[in-house]
Structure 1
Amino acid sequence: MSRTMVAGNWKMNTSPAEGARLIQEVMEKVGTPATRVVFGVPALQLMQAQELVAGHTNYAIAAQNMHQETSGAYTGEISAGMLSEVGIEYVILGHSERRDYAGEDDDLINLKIQRALEAGLRPIYCCGEKLDIREAGNQELVVGKQVEQALYSLDPEQIEKIVIAYEPVWAIGTGRTASKEQAQDMHAYIRRMIANQFGADVAQNLTILYGGSVKPNNAVELFSQPDVDGGLVGGASLDAENFAAIVNAIGG
């Protein structure tokens, strides 16, 4: 099975009507994709989006977040079980914006990952370093700690359901992009970490995405790297033509 994927993270953008049009336009432009295509839509649109992709090969929907508890007095929150019951397949966890704005750390993210797996969801786990860390040459130390704290408590069968997205924080929404060499080096490092903890076979089948100002004009170069299996796309995923071009930049 191909380990490739292109996922869009819409963040807090699009009305339900706009979101429906965007999904339909992407599917019209791409047709049946050679890779897995995931739309990470706002919570209000999850059920609508799931209905739009149901029955279409290689398309799926992701929630952008979920709560770590299964139920309770958590006003405004959504549980993993709720997402699973309406057919959502993926959930984005550990995004740098959740870390910065909501104070989430990898212990909390680890708990969310466990709850997601228990409910049958597939987590897209985000990790990455800030600019000062990169400039100091400590990116592997920081990303390695994130991966260890969030994922090492899982077993190999659980890791097989995880997608990792490496997102250098200094490249998210800034227009800056890691070079193909920087992306490849970090992806290879993450894959080695997984191999050392869970075995070479698990690591070889693991999907590792690059996120950070992915655009049509750099997607082919990034996706051609041996350990870069696709992208978690932010701003460019809000434009059907751009996102379709990114999807078509990757082979199955």
Structure 2
Amino acid sequence: MRRKIVVGNWKMNNTIAESVDLATAIAEKVGADGVQCEVGIAPTFPALYEVCKVIEWSGIRLCAQNCHYESDGPFTGEVSTRMLAAAGCSYVILGHSERRQLFGETNATVNLKVKKALAEGLSVILCVGETLDERERGVTGQIVTAQVVEGLIDVTDISKLVIAYEPVWAIGTGKTATKEQAQEVHALIRAKVTELYGQKAADHLRIQYGGSVKPSNAAELFAMPDIDGGLIGGASLNADDFMAIVEAAG
């Protein structure tokens, strides 16, 4: 039985003080409610260390939103995996559609980051998903499969991997894939992972859904057999909304 995982991606929101306040509110609720799923939050880089100090007692996982694939060097504006680990991170989100669409990340650069993060002991949330144009052209399966396969080149152990399916057309738009649409792609991802790594590894792999997940639709999405939680954007910026989604995951 796969343990569901719900992670809040705060994106470029909140000052350090605001991040600490939100993290504290979530930690208090997680501690009081005794939730069964795994919970993570991904603040901005400047807030990571301070947030770590207020959530470490709660069991909430500290996640980073990105990393570089080199350990150090002349990469202005970048952050390395060892810096993230030193700040208290146990997860890093890689290949998010905003990184791909706005900053030119490719399957190849995502792959370099995935390999580096896993080698350094971090768990990885690998994001995949199609644009609206790609869905309308009927190539969702091809796009998502390529992102999975090319993102995992030379990765032999996926025990510390989570995949997040995030249809680009549903991120921050208020549009959500139906539970059937989401399940179809999640099942496709699991089938491809079975081809690559075998049935046992695929059965243990957790695949999150992301794309305008809200308290009102979380339960029906998470009830689908291949949806193992959510990567939450806007709704994770409100402690009550985020906790309602966490509780929907069990």
Interval of TM-score (by shorter of Structure 1 and Structure 2): over 0.9
Partner of 1:215: 214
- Could you say which residue in structure 1 is the equivalent of 2:194? 195
**Structure 2 CA distance for aligned equivalents of residues 177 and 149 of structure 1:** 26
- Alpha-carbon distance, 1:153 to partner: 2.2
Report the equivalent of 1:63.
64
Distance in 2 between residues matched to 1:86 and 1:235, nearest whole Å? 24
What CA deviation, in whole Å up to 9, does each residue of 1:193-246 have, x standing for no partner? 001110100000101000000000000000000100000000000011100100
SS at match of 1:178: coil
* Counterpart for residue 181 of structure 2: 182
Task: Confirm or deny: 8 A CA contact 1:30 1:248 kept in the other structure.
Answer: no
1:246 is aligned to: 245
Q: Contact 2:71 / 2:81 at 8 angstroms: preserved in 1?
A: yes
- Matched-pair identity in %: 50
Query: Contact conserved, 1:183 with 1:210, CA < 8 A, in 2?
Result: yes
CA shift, 1:2, in A, is 3.9
Residue 3 of structure 1 and its aligned partner are, at CA, apart by: 3.0
1:26 is matched with: 26
- Find the aligned partners of 2:153 and 2:114 in 1 and give their Cα distance: 11
* 2:27 corresponds to 1:11: no
Q: Separation in 2 of the partners of 1:107 and 1:153? A: 11
**Partner SS, residue 92 of structure 2:** strand
Are 2:111 and 2:153, in contact at CA under 8 Å, matched by a contact in 1? no
Question: Residues 92 and 126 of structure 1 are in contact (CA less than 8 Å); yes or no, is this contact kept in structure 2?
Answer: yes
Following superposition, the deviation at residue 101 of structure 1 comes to 1.2
- Aligned partners of 2:54, 2:27: CA distance in 1, in Å? 10
Amino acid at match of 1:28: E
Matched, 1:226 2:225: yes
Tell me the secondary structure at the aligned position of residue 67 of structure 2. Answer: coil
Q: 2: CA distance between counterparts of 1:97 and 1:86?
A: 24
AA aligned to 1:87 is G
What is the alpha-carbon distance in structure 1 between the residues aligned to residue 26 and residue 72 of structure 2? 35
Asked whether the 8 Å contact 1:68–1:111 carries over to 2, the reply is yes
Secondary structure of the residue aligned to 1:164 is: strand
Aligned to 1:162: 161
What is the alpha-carbon distance in structure 2 between the residues aligned to residue 61 and residue 46 of structure 1? 8
Counterpart of 1:107? 108
Shift in Å at residue 82 of structure 1? 1.2
TM value normalised by structure 1:
0.96
CA distance in 1, matches of 2:133, 2:239: 34
d(CA) in 1 for partners of 2:143, 2:2: 29
Q: Which structure 1 segments of 5+ residues have no match?
A: none
SS in structure 2 at match of 1:62: strand
Please give the alpha-carbon distance, in whole angstroms, between the structure 2 residues aligned to 1:3 and 1:149: 26
- The question of 1:72 aligning with 2:69 is answered no
What is the CA-CA distance between 1:77 and the residue it aligns to? 1.3
Partner of 2:94: 93
Conserved 8 A contact 1:67-1:80: yes
- The amino acid that maps onto 1:219 is A
Q: Structure 2: how far apart are the matches of 1:152 and 1:163?
A: 15
Q: In structure 2, the residue corresponding to 1:108 is in which secondary structure?
A: helix
Unaligned ranges ≥5, structure 2: none
Give, as a single letter, the amino acid of the residue that structure 2 aligns with 1:134: R
Contact 1:8 1:39 in 2 (8 A): yes
3-state SS of 2:85 partner: helix
Q: Which runs of 4+ in 1 moved over 3 A?
A: none
Q: What per-residue deviation string (whole Å, max 9, x for no partner) do you get for residues 48-77 of structure 1?
A: 1111121323x1111101111111011221
Matches within 5 A, 1:118-137: 118-137=119-138
Aligned length: 248
